[in-house]
Chains A and B, each alone.
Chain A
Amino acid sequence: MLIALGILLLVLMLAIGGERGGRSFAALIENIIILILCIYLISLGINAIVITFVCCAIFTSITLIQQNGASIKTYASAFSVIIVICILSILAGIISANAKIAGYSELDLSEEISRYLSVNIHISMRDLVFAVIIFGLLGAIMDTAIAIASAITEFYNNNDSLSFKDLAHSGKAVGRDILGTTVNTIFFAGIGETMMQTMLFLQYGYTFETLVNSKAFCMELSMILISNIGCFLIIPTVTFITSTLLTSNHIYAEKIREYIQQQSKD
C-alpha cells in the first residue's frame, strides 16, 4: 500500500514537474533516509539536541541547495533558516525544559501499548521534545524562506536598479501573502492529525481547564504555534539577507557572491 502510493507520487511528480520533479523526489528520499538515521543515532544514546542541530543543517542543504541548485537565493534562504532555528531553539528549550510535556501523555497512558513497553531506555524524553518541535517547524520555514528569496531575486533580475530598501519593501509584501497560506497548511495538518485525540477528549468530557493543562494538548499546540512563529520570524530574516547579498557593495558580500558563483559552476 505504501509502495503503491509512493510509486504513484513519483509518477505524478515526474509527469507534472519533469526532471526537476524527479530531483525533488530524490531530495525527499534523502531526507527520509537522514530522518531514519537520526532516529537510530538518538536510540544509540547520542544527545538528541546535538543530533537535531546537525540534522537540521543537513536537511537544509539537501532541501534548499541541492534541490534548487546553488544560487544566491538558495544560500540566502539556507542561512536564514539556520538563524531562525537558532533563535527558536531558545523558545523550544524553554518549553521542553519547563512545560513537562515529555513522555507519555494522558491519552498514551490509557493505550494498551504503554503497559508492555519498557521505559528503562536511558534517553532524555525532554531532549526529544526539543527535537520534535525543531523538526516540526523545519519544513515550514524552508518553504517560506525559499518562496520569499526567489521572489526578491526575481524582482532584482527584472530591474537591477532596485535598492536595498525597495527589495526589502517588496519582500515584506510577498511575505505577507505567503504567511497566511503557510500558516493554514500547518494548522490543517495539525487538525487532521489530532482528529482521534479530539474525539477522545470530548468523549472523556474534558473541561476547558483540564484540556489547557493536559500534556497532549500542550504538546500539539506548542508544535503548531512554534512552527507558525518560525514562519513569521523567517520573513524579515530572509528579506534582509537576500536583499543585502544582492545589493550590498561590502567586501564580504562580494566575497560571498563570488563563492556562490563558483559553487554553481561546479
Chain B
Amino acid sequence: MKSIRLYISKHKQQLLIFGITVVLFTAFLFGVAHDYNFYPSSIAKVNCVSERYLKSEKGPNGEVEKYYVQQITLTIKNGAEKGRTAESENTYSSSCVNSEKYQVGDKLFVTIKSDSGKLTAEINGVKRDAYVAFVAGLFFIGMVFISGKQGLLTIVSFCVNIAVFVFSIILYLDGKNFIELCLLMIFIFTVTTLFLTGGFSQKTLGALISTFITLSLTFLIYKCVITFIEKPPYHLMDYIFVPRDLDSIFLAGILIGCLGAVMDVAVTVHSAVNELLRTSKNITKKDLIHSIREIAYDVMGTMINVLLFSYISGSLPMIVLKVLNGYSLYSLVRFNIIFELIRFLVGSIGIVVAIPISGVVSVLIEGRGRTKC
C-alpha cells in the first residue's frame, strides 16, 4: 500500500497525463460512435434480431452450408425519421463469405421505405468508423507514449506520405505519366521519412544515398529477370480497372513495398558503422567488414520474415476459399498468389542487397569525414 502511494506521488505528472489521455480517447470514441448527423445517408441501430433456419446447400467438397434468415428491428438514428423503428430482413450463410450476420447493437447504413405508415429498411452496409477510430487512436497514443517526439514525427511522415500517394494517383488518373509520378513519389517518400524521423545529419544523408542505389539495383535485377526469363501474368492481377500500365503499376507496388524495409536496413547499417567509427578510431577495414557482416546476419533473417508475413497473410482467406473450390497448390502459386510471392521475393532481394551497399556507402562517407578532421 505504501509503495503504491510512493509510486503515485513520484509519478504524479505522468499519471495525470495518462488519465487525461484515457478520458480524451474515450470521449473521442464516443463522439465517433454517435456521429450520425454527419452522414447524409440514413443510419440505424439493430435493436432485436430473431433468426430462423432457411435451407442447406451442398458445398464443393460435400460440406453442408446452412442458411438463415434474420428478422431485424432497427431504430433510425438520423434524418427525418429519427427515433422511429423499421423492419428489415437479411439472409446469411454460416461461413459469411458474401453475406453478413448482424447482431444487436450493430450500426447499419440503410435506405428507408415507407409502406402505409410502416417503415422497412434495406441494408446497404455497416458503419465501421468507430473501429477504425479505435485502432487508429490506440496506435497514435502508443506511438506518442513510447517514443515521444520521434513517434509524433513518424506519424507526421505517415500523413505526408499518404497525402503524396493519394495525390499522385489522382494525377495519374488525370492522365499524367505513371513512371515519372512513381519516381517522384519514391523520392518524396524516402526524403520525408528519413529526414523527419532521423533528423538532418551525415548519417541520414548516407542512408538516403544507399536507399536510392539499392532501389535502382533491385529495379535492374527485377527488369533482368522479367526480360530474360519470364513475364508475370499481369492480366491476372486483382482489382484491374483499366488494362493500361499494368506492368509499371505492379513494379511501383514492388518498389514502394520494399522501400520501407530497405530504409530500415540502411538506417541500421549506417548508425552501426557510425557508432563503430566513433568509438574505436583505429578500427581496421577488415574489422569493419566483419562487423558489418555480423549486423547483416542479425538483420537479414528476421527482416525477410516481416515481409513474408505481412504480404502472405492478407491473401489467406482467398487462398482458403480457392483451395476449397478445388484449386491445386501449383495453380495457386502459378496464377493466384504469384504477385504476392514476386513482391515478397524482390523485396527480400532488396533487403539483402541493401546490406553491402549501405556498408560501402557509409564507410566512404564517414571515412572521408574522418580524414578531413
Q: Which positions in A face B, CB cutoff 8 Å?
A: 1-2, 4-6, 8-9, 12-13, 16-18, 20-21, 23-24, 27-28, 31-32, 35-36, 39-40, 42-43, 45, 63, 67-68, 91, 95, 98-104, 107-109, 111, 114, 117-126, 128-129, 131-133, 135-140, 142-143, 146-147, 150, 175-177, 179-193, 195-200, 202-203, 209, 212-215, 217-218, 220-223, 225-229, 232-233, 235-236
Contacts and interface: CB of A to CB of B under 8 A. Distances in A.
Contact of A121 (B65, B173, B229, B298): B65
Interface stretch (B22-30, B311-319, B363-371): B311-319
B146 A225 contact: no
A200 to B, nearest CB: 5
Given A103-B99, A202-B170, A213-B126, A180 B197 contact: yes
Nearest to B319: A39
Interface size class of B (residues with CB under 8 A): 35 or more
A247 B170 CA distance: 56
Given A24-B301, A140-B306, A192-B343, A222 B352 contact: no
A198 B154 contact: no
A16 to B, nearest CB: 6
Given A12-B353, A118-B60, A136 B308 contact: no
B305 A143 contact: yes
Contact of B323 (A43, A125, A143, A197): A43
17 contacts: A4-B229, A21-B300, A100-B126, A119-B95, A120-B65, A121-B95, A121-B321, A122-B95, A132-B316, A135-B312, A135-B313, A181-B264, A188-B258, A209-B39, A213-B129, A227-B310, A232-B147
A36 to B, nearest CB: 7
A179 B147 contact: yes
A136 B310 CA distance: 5
B193 interface: yes
Interface string B324-340: 11000100010000100
A54 to B, nearest CB: 15
A24 B306 CA distance: 13
B268 interface: yes
Contacts, number: 371
Interface in B131-156: 131-132, 135-136, 138-139, 142-143, 146-148, 150-151, 154
B309 interface: yes
A188 B297 contact: no
A23 B308 CA distance: 16
A179 B142 CA distance: 11
Nearest to B136: A225
Contacts of B126: 99-100, 213, 215
Name the prevailing secondary structure of the B interface residues: helix
Interface in B41-89: 57-60, 63-65
Given A142-B302, A184-B197, A190 B310 contact: yes
B271 A232 contact: no
B31 interface: no
Contact of A122 (B94, B193, B311, B349): B94
Given A31-B308, A98-B103, A175-B147, 16 more contacts: A16-B293, A24-B304, A63-B301, A104-B98, A135-B313, A150-B298, A183-B154, A185-B263, A188-B261, A193-B314, A195-B256, A199-B239, A215-B128, A218-B131, A227-B310, A229-B139
A196 to B, nearest CB: 4
Interface in B203-247: 221, 225-226, 229-232, 237-241
B173 A16 contact: no
Contact of B257 (A32, A138, A191): A191
A221 B132 contact: yes
A133 to B, nearest CB: 8
Contacts of A123: 95, 320, 324
Contact of B97 (A8, A125, A218): A125
A185 B97 contact: no
A90 to B, nearest CB: 12
A104 B304 contact: no
A242 B218 CA distance: 37
Nearest to A143: B302
A117 B293 CA distance: 49
